[in-house]
Structure 1
Protein backbone atom coordinates (compact mmCIF):
# COMPACT_ATOMS: atom_id res chain seq x y z
CA UNK A 1 0.00 0.00 0.00
CA UNK A 2 1.14 3.54 -0.52
CA UNK A 3 0.39 6.82 1.15
CA UNK A 4 0.34 5.48 4.68
CA UNK A 5 1.76 7.68 7.41
CA UNK A 6 2.12 6.70 11.03
CA UNK A 7 2.71 9.22 13.76
CA UNK A 8 3.12 8.32 17.41
CA UNK A 9 3.81 10.23 20.58
CA UNK A 10 5.38 8.69 23.63
CA UNK A 11 6.19 9.72 27.17
CA UNK A 12 8.98 7.13 27.31
CA UNK A 13 11.82 9.57 26.64
CA UNK A 14 12.15 12.88 28.42
CA UNK A 15 13.83 15.38 26.14
CA UNK A 16 14.20 18.81 27.72
CA UNK A 17 13.01 21.79 25.72
CA UNK A 18 13.50 25.49 26.23
CA UNK A 19 16.42 24.97 28.57
CA UNK A 20 18.29 28.07 29.66
CA UNK A 21 21.41 28.78 27.65
CA UNK A 22 24.70 27.92 29.33
CA UNK A 23 26.75 30.87 30.59
CA UNK A 24 28.94 32.49 27.95
CA UNK A 25 32.12 30.57 27.41
CA UNK A 26 30.59 27.22 28.49
CA UNK A 27 29.43 24.73 25.92
CA UNK A 28 26.41 22.52 26.17
CA UNK A 29 26.35 19.01 24.80
CA UNK A 30 23.96 18.58 21.89
CA UNK A 31 23.61 14.83 22.34
CA UNK A 32 20.56 13.23 23.94
CA UNK A 33 20.19 9.55 24.73
CA UNK A 34 16.92 8.11 23.46
CA UNK A 35 15.49 4.64 24.10
CA UNK A 36 13.38 3.14 21.33
CA UNK A 37 11.75 -0.13 20.38
CA UNK A 38 13.28 -1.87 17.38
CA UNK A 39 11.28 -1.27 14.19
CA UNK A 40 10.68 -4.98 13.55
CA UNK A 41 8.91 -5.25 16.91
CA UNK A 42 6.39 -2.62 15.80
CA UNK A 43 5.26 -4.28 12.56
CA UNK A 44 2.31 -6.02 14.22
CA UNK A 45 1.27 -2.82 15.97
CA UNK A 46 1.38 -0.85 12.71
CA UNK A 47 -0.61 -3.54 10.91
CA UNK A 48 -3.25 -3.62 13.65
CA UNK A 49 -3.47 0.19 13.63
CA UNK A 50 -3.95 0.26 9.86
CA UNK A 51 -6.68 -2.38 10.09
CA UNK A 52 -8.47 -0.42 12.84
CA UNK A 53 -8.38 2.77 10.80
CA UNK A 54 -9.59 0.93 7.70
CA UNK A 55 -12.48 -0.59 9.66
CA UNK A 56 -13.40 2.81 11.14
CA UNK A 57 -13.49 4.36 7.67
CA UNK A 58 -15.72 1.58 6.33
CA UNK A 59 -18.04 1.97 9.31
CA UNK A 60 -18.34 5.73 8.77
CA UNK A 61 -18.97 5.36 5.06
CA UNK A 62 -21.55 2.61 5.44
CA UNK A 63 -23.65 4.26 8.15
CA UNK A 64 -23.68 7.65 6.43
CA UNK A 65 -27.10 8.86 5.34
CA UNK A 66 -28.14 11.10 2.48
CA UNK A 67 -27.90 14.72 3.60
CA UNK A 68 -29.22 17.99 2.29
CA UNK A 69 -27.51 21.22 3.18
CA UNK A 70 -27.54 24.90 2.46
CA UNK A 71 -29.12 26.03 -0.81
CA UNK A 72 -30.31 22.52 -1.59
CA UNK A 73 -26.84 20.96 -1.84
CA UNK A 74 -27.36 17.24 -1.51
CA UNK A 75 -24.91 14.43 -0.80
CA UNK A 76 -26.16 10.91 -1.41
CA UNK A 77 -25.37 8.02 0.90
CA UNK A 78 -23.36 5.17 -0.55
CA UNK A 79 -25.52 2.67 -2.44
CA UNK A 80 -24.66 -0.26 -0.14
CA UNK A 81 -26.07 -2.92 -2.44
CA UNK A 82 -23.79 -1.73 -5.28
CA UNK A 83 -20.79 -1.45 -2.95
CA UNK A 84 -21.30 -5.09 -1.86
CA UNK A 85 -21.40 -6.17 -5.50
CA UNK A 86 -18.18 -4.31 -6.26
CA UNK A 87 -16.45 -5.72 -3.17
CA UNK A 88 -17.46 -9.26 -4.16
CA UNK A 89 -16.13 -8.64 -7.66
CA UNK A 90 -12.71 -7.74 -6.22
CA UNK A 91 -12.70 -10.52 -3.62
CA UNK A 92 -13.04 -8.17 -0.68
CA UNK A 93 -16.62 -8.97 0.32
CA UNK A 94 -15.39 -10.18 3.73
CA UNK A 95 -14.65 -6.56 4.65
CA UNK A 96 -18.30 -5.51 4.75
Structure 2
Protein backbone atom coordinates (compact mmCIF):
# COMPACT_ATOMS: atom_id res chain seq x y z
CA UNK A 1 0.00 0.00 0.00
CA UNK A 2 1.14 3.52 -0.72
CA UNK A 3 2.25 5.44 2.40
CA UNK A 4 -0.09 8.26 3.45
CA UNK A 5 -3.18 6.72 1.85
CA UNK A 6 -6.19 4.83 3.24
CA UNK A 7 -7.95 2.13 1.19
CA UNK A 8 -11.70 2.70 0.84
CA UNK A 9 -14.31 0.52 -0.84
CA UNK A 10 -17.04 2.64 -2.39
CA UNK A 11 -20.39 1.40 -3.63
CA UNK A 12 -23.55 -0.27 -2.52
CA UNK A 13 -22.43 -3.83 -3.26
CA UNK A 14 -21.94 -4.82 0.37
CA UNK A 15 -25.24 -3.24 1.40
CA UNK A 16 -27.66 -5.37 -0.60
CA UNK A 17 -26.90 -3.67 -3.92
CA UNK A 18 -25.31 -5.12 -7.02
CA UNK A 19 -22.75 -7.36 -5.34
CA UNK A 20 -19.00 -6.99 -5.04
CA UNK A 21 -18.71 -6.02 -8.72
CA UNK A 22 -20.43 -2.73 -7.87
CA UNK A 23 -17.69 -1.85 -5.37
CA UNK A 24 -14.69 0.27 -6.40
CA UNK A 25 -11.45 0.50 -4.42
CA UNK A 26 -9.90 3.92 -3.90
CA UNK A 27 -6.75 5.00 -2.12
CA UNK A 28 -7.54 8.29 -0.40
CA UNK A 29 -4.88 10.62 1.01
CA UNK A 30 -5.12 10.54 4.81
CA UNK A 31 -5.26 14.35 4.99
CA UNK A 32 -8.59 14.41 3.13
CA UNK A 33 -10.37 12.41 5.85
CA UNK A 34 -10.67 15.56 8.00
CA UNK A 35 -12.49 17.53 5.32
CA UNK A 36 -16.20 18.21 6.13
CA UNK A 37 -17.29 16.59 2.85
CA UNK A 38 -15.39 13.40 3.67
CA UNK A 39 -16.68 13.50 7.23
CA UNK A 40 -20.24 13.54 5.85
CA UNK A 41 -19.51 10.45 3.74
CA UNK A 42 -17.95 8.72 6.75
CA UNK A 43 -21.06 9.54 8.81
CA UNK A 44 -23.18 8.02 6.03
CA UNK A 45 -21.10 4.85 6.31
CA UNK A 46 -21.45 4.81 10.11
CA UNK A 47 -25.22 5.36 9.91
CA UNK A 48 -25.65 2.50 7.46
CA UNK A 49 -23.02 0.02 8.69
CA UNK A 50 -22.10 1.12 12.20
CA UNK A 51 -18.77 2.12 13.66
CA UNK A 52 -17.52 -1.44 14.05
CA UNK A 53 -16.56 -2.11 10.44
CA UNK A 54 -13.79 -4.65 10.10
CA UNK A 55 -11.28 -4.68 7.30
CA UNK A 56 -11.27 -2.04 4.61
CA UNK A 57 -13.45 1.02 5.23
CA UNK A 58 -16.61 0.92 3.10
CA UNK A 59 -18.67 3.94 2.05
CA UNK A 60 -22.14 3.14 0.66
CA UNK A 61 -22.46 5.63 -2.18
CA UNK A 62 -22.04 5.64 -5.93
CA UNK A 63 -18.35 5.59 -6.96
CA UNK A 64 -18.81 8.47 -9.41
CA UNK A 65 -20.46 10.57 -6.69
CA UNK A 66 -17.58 9.74 -4.32
CA UNK A 67 -15.03 10.80 -6.95
CA UNK A 68 -16.90 14.10 -7.55
CA UNK A 69 -17.04 14.83 -3.81
CA UNK A 70 -13.34 14.15 -3.30
CA UNK A 71 -12.21 16.10 -6.36
CA UNK A 72 -14.38 19.07 -5.26
CA UNK A 73 -12.42 19.38 -2.02
CA UNK A 74 -10.21 22.46 -2.52
CA UNK A 75 -7.13 20.87 -0.93
CA UNK A 76 -7.49 17.68 -2.98
CA UNK A 77 -5.12 17.20 -5.84
CA UNK A 78 -7.07 15.17 -8.40
CA UNK A 79 -3.94 13.18 -9.14
CA UNK A 80 -3.76 12.08 -5.48
CA UNK A 81 -7.01 10.08 -5.59
CA UNK A 82 -6.14 6.63 -6.80
CA UNK A 83 -8.80 4.23 -8.08
CA UNK A 84 -7.82 0.58 -8.36
CA UNK A 85 -9.62 -1.16 -11.22
CA UNK A 86 -9.56 -4.49 -9.41
CA UNK A 87 -10.50 -5.34 -5.82
Q: Same fold (TM over 0.5)?
A: no
Structure number with the higher strand fraction is 2
TM-score norm. by structure 1 comes to 0.24
TM-score under structure 2 length normalisation: 0.26
**Bigger relative contact order, structure 1 or 2 (CA pairs below 8 A, ≥6 apart):** 2
Specify the structure having the higher radius of gyration (Cα): 1
